[in-house]
Amino acid sequence: MNEIRKRFGEISEQYDQEREFLIPCFKDFYQISLPLIAERTAAEHVLDIGAGTGLFSYFVYQTNPKLKYTLLDISPEMLGIARKRFAGLSNFSYLEMDYREKGIPGKYDIVISSLSIHHLTDTEKTSIYQRVYKALNPGGLFVNADQVKGRTSAIDNFYKAQWRRSVIESGLDQASIQRAFQRTSLDKFAPLAWQLNELQRTGFQEVDCIYRYHNFVVMIGTKA
């Protein structure tokens, strides 16, 4: 996790402006879950785990600016960008911590995450799903927008090749492209079906994948 802190700290200033180049389905990926979040009119508190610069929280904020947001991340540099993004807003708070090593403090009505959990081992993925479930209030919603492994090696290689091609053709500068390719060494993708099953085993209900574009997916689950 020290390597993740280092790599993402180094690119914190460029992170947001690179997203649309690196995520070919950028708009749908971040916005597909917003109607579900908007339906939860009684919700008060949102936790964004692996929040980075607060990009996912920004989209949710556009849907409901009255929610209380807690952004949790291991990188102080990334959270620094988030603080600038939401400067002057009293309903935002920040937690710098490694969510693998500690329980999630507090209780929340909605927990969101984007492009973070795929850096964990399978055992750590199961653990964070359990911690998220415990941190949710009854009726709470979990949204995980992330990347997954293809069902077969051939399909997985196809997804990765298509992503690399889209990045190369995106117009992003060569230095940023090379850094993005190097960061893939930190990835620990797991199959979608396995992760949905782990969410169900943890106790989540209404578990589903509500969006998929190659290996970019959005998973959801609710707490009864």
Residue type, 59: F
SS3 content of the chain, % helix, strand, coil (to 5): 45, 25, 30
- pLDDT digit string, tens, across residues 65-103: 999 999 999 999 999 999 999 999 999 999 999 998 888
| Half-sphere exposure (Cβ direction) of 217: Cα atoms closer than 13 Å | 22
Helix or strand run (H / E) with residue 118? none
Reference 220, options 118, 148, 144, 130; nearest CA is 144
The residue to which tokens 């807690």 are assigned = 70
- pLDDT digit string, tens, across residues 153-163: 999 999 999 99
Please check whether the domain covering 2-222 is classified as CATH 3.40.50.300. Answer: no
Mean pLDDT rounded to a whole number for the chain: 93
- pLDDT digit string, tens, across residues 106-126: 999 999 999 999 999 999 999
By the 8 A CB rule, do 21 and 118 touch?
Answer: no
Alpha helices in 136-207 (DSSP H): 153-168, 174-183, 192-202
First vs last C-alpha separation in the chain: 32
- pLDDT digit string, tens, across residues 2-58: 554 444 444 446 778 899 999 999 999 999 999 999 999 999 999 999 999 999 999
pTM recorded for the entire structure: 0.93
Check residue 103 and give its pLDDT.
86
The domain ranges of the chain are 2-222
By the 8 A CB rule, do 78 and 101 touch?
Answer: no
Check residue 12 and give its pLDDT.
47
